[in-house]
Amino acid sequence: MNLIYAALALLMALVFTLAGVTRAGSWLIERRNPSVGGFADIDGARIHYVHIPAPENADLPPVVFSVRSYRTTLFGSWFRMLCSRSRDGGRLSWGTFNLHGASANLRDQMLPLRPLLEGRAEMVFFDRPGLGRSGRGSGNDTPEAQANTIAALMNNLGIKKAIIVGHSFGGAITTAFALQHADRTLGLVFVSPATHPWPGGATAWYYNLTTIPVVGRLFSETLSYPAGMLRMAAATACVFSPNQVPDGYVTEASIPLVLRPSAFRSNARDVAGLYRYVLGAAPHYRDIEVPTVIISGDRDKVVYATIHSTGLARDIPGAELVWVRNLGHKPDWIAPDLVAGAMEKAAGRDVDLHALARTVEARIAGDAHAGECADLKAPEAELAPT
């Protein structure tokens, strides 16, 4: 009996120690990664964002729309949309809205993309509900709800229409926004998106574990920080593989913010619910009628590019798919010039994205940082329903 009590006491001591380490680590993470923008209270959630207004002479998007890149049958509606820009108080009423993926925050896209478009376009980068410095609120557990949060933030900022740019998990929210707020969608850019049902619908075990009441909370409050810190370098290498992780990426992009217990739980709920959303949403992508560009690497080790990217190109009328050889899951960092070009293309400019892709390919042809990541290969038969 004494041995049982001793074991229980040891277990409790270990739990409290891990909880203390996690709390201390979370405090240090927040101290080292302060907010960099403003906040807006939206339906009970305190949303953190960075808003970069455009100057009066901003050149995106142009009024003239290039029909060569999209289906002629849709030209009329897209042209009217592009010409419907208006000015309120001397400022353009369109903008670009950038949605980061799972486990990330607004800095993940802002750092590589802002320098390329600042002064030319109105940009908004925001921490999705529960991640980065944003609060979760009650009811932001689905892509549809987060799309509504985006629309509300657009209202606060006076942006009538936007080009929505979504990376990875952000691609699912991009589709939700386009389906629910078509009148506010100027164009879409998908970067290594997750948008379609995939074989089995499985996700990493710790996401599902974290969503279990009590057990999940205990896991996030004790192990998310120490285990996450131990695995962060290897996991980041897999996300970028076969490309090199940029120097200082984890620190500069504030990636450890996701290891705080509340953020870890929010991220887990997002990922664990993704399959259910895409299963219902994918058959409706054919209803999207705005200029759409998809950028995908053929060496992506995070999502099934041949399911998600190929599926979008098939399902969204006139969508343009740009494949890049030897590119992993992070075009926003490895090929930011191509992503910026895709935003210009979605805005109506005549940009040769495939020529840009060949330039990127020449730049990364020698990358071979495989790490411990296995290649993802999905059978063609598992493509989403048409």
Q: What distance in Å separates the CA atoms of residue 29 and residue 48, rounded to the nearest whole number?
A: 17
Residue 385 lies in a domain: no
Q: Which region holds residue 15: left if phi is over 0, alpha if psi is between -120 and 50, else beta?
A: alpha
pLDDT for 378 equals 59
Residue 366 lies in a domain: yes
- Give, to the nearest 10 degrees, the angle between helix 107-117 and helix 336-346: 70
Taking residue 140's Cβ as centre, other Cβ atoms within 10 Å add up to 25
Taking residue 251's Cβ as centre, other Cβ atoms within 10 Å add up to 11
Residue 75 lies in a domain: yes
DSSP summary character for residue 53: P
Residue 384 lies in a domain: no
Q: Which segments of the chain have a pLDDT < 70?
A: 1, 58-94, 375-386
Taking residue 186's Cβ as centre, other Cβ atoms within 10 Å add up to 25
Residue 148 lies in a domain: yes
User: What are 56-104's pLDDT values in tens digits?
Assistant: 776 654 222 222 332 333 333 333 333 334 334 334 446 788 999 999 9
With beta carbons less than 8 A apart as the criterion, state whether 307 and 213 touch. no
3-state secondary structure (DSSP) of residue 68: helix
Q: What's the total number of domains in the chain?
A: 1
CATH code for the domain in which residue 44 is found: 3.40.50.1820
Instruction: State how far Cα 179 lies from the chain centre.
Output: 17
Instruction: Give the distance between the most distant pair of CA atoms in the chain.
Output: 81
Question: Domain range holding 75?
Answer: 2-195+206-375
Residue 91 lies in a domain: yes
Q: What distance in Å separates the CA atoms of residue 331 and residue 297, rounded to the nearest whole number?
A: 7
Residue 382 lies in a domain: no
Residue 23 lies in a domain: yes
Q: Which two tokens stand for residue 21?
A: 């380490």
Q: What distance in Å separates the CA atoms of residue 117 and residue 138, rounded to the nearest whole number?
A: 34
pLDDT for 84 equals 38
Q: Report if pTM > 0.85.
A: yes
From 82, 113, 96, 100, select the one nearest 163 (Cα to Cα): 96
